[in-house]
Amino acid sequence: MRRREFIAFLTGALTDWPSNAFAKQRHLMTQIALTPEEFHAAYPKLQAWIQKTLATYEIDAQPIASMRFARLPLYFDHTSLEAARFIPIDRVPTPPLAAMGLDRFAAFEQGDFNGVTYLDRYFIKRPVVTEEALHFHELIHVAQWRLLGPESFLTAYANGLDEFGYENSPLEKMAYDAEASFRRSSVIFDADKFVAERLARPQ
């Protein structure tokens, strides 16, 4: 599947996924879905915020190998683990979405999350920095960013958040499903391949 076809397919899949959850969430929604115009107006501001935030904290970025996790190398290849970095922090930074014209995401902006990923860097709260499964979850997001590219990732994430809420949004659901398998110590799988297949799979 070519990249342009893949992105078009993904957009359709995210709109349709899953039918029951979609129907329930649509019933509860009081706003119309995020429009392309809204997203494209906010995207340059969001992109600039991400770059500035990562530059500010890059001095604190640490290699994943420094944690000496035993299981992560079984799921991610060496190149992926070498490219990514994590940043221990007291509270993970979230963009000022309301100020960017995305008021509907105020709840996400104010959320107190254990981790958040931007490109190939992820922030993780210091009290949980030794939890290997949380690093695994964020590395799934790193793979999503890499495979989709920044604009397509943010478009898909925003649409999923708008339609389904945080935990049921498709990209988060994918990360939580993978993390659950990792926590169960079930059969080892190629995490990058898992992400690619889930992104391309009809929903």
The DSSP H or E segment spanning 147 is helix 132-148
pLDDT of residue 22: 34
pLDDT on residue 39: 83
Instruction: Indicate if the alpha-carbon torsion angle 39, 43, 49, 54 is positive or negative.
Output: positive
Helix pair angle (19-28, 150-164), 10° resolution: 70
Q: Which of 174, 130, 146 has its CA nearest to residue 84?
A: 146
- Rounded to whole angstroms, the Cα distance separating 61 from 58 reads 5
pLDDT, greater one: 13 or 105: 105
The DSSP symbol for 97 reads T
Strands 85-89 and 121-125: parallel
Model confidence over 84-124: pLDDT tens digits?
Answer: 999 999 999 999 988 888 887 888 888 889 999 999 999 99
Parse the chain into domains and list their residue ranges.
61-94+113-200
> Nearest CA to 171 among 146, 27, 57, 24?
146
Region for residue 101 given its phi and psi (left: phi exceeds 0; alpha: psi -120 to 50; beta: otherwise):
left
The number of C-alpha atoms within 13 Å of 180 and in the hemisphere containing its C-beta is 6
Amino acid 203: pLDDT: 55
- Residue 16 is predicted with a pLDDT of 39
Residue-wise pLDDT for 45-85, tens only, equals 999 999 999 999 999 999 999 999 999 999 999 999 999 99
Q: Rounded to whole angstroms, what are the CA distances from 16 to 47, 48, 100, 153, 160?
A: 27, 31, 27, 17, 10
Q: Compare 44 and 13 and report the one with higher pLDDT.
A: 44
* pLDDT (mean) for 149-164: 90
- pTM attached to this predicted model: 0.82
Report residue 38 as tokens: 């809204």
pLDDT at site 25: 36
Q: Is the pLDDT of residue 161 over 80?
A: yes
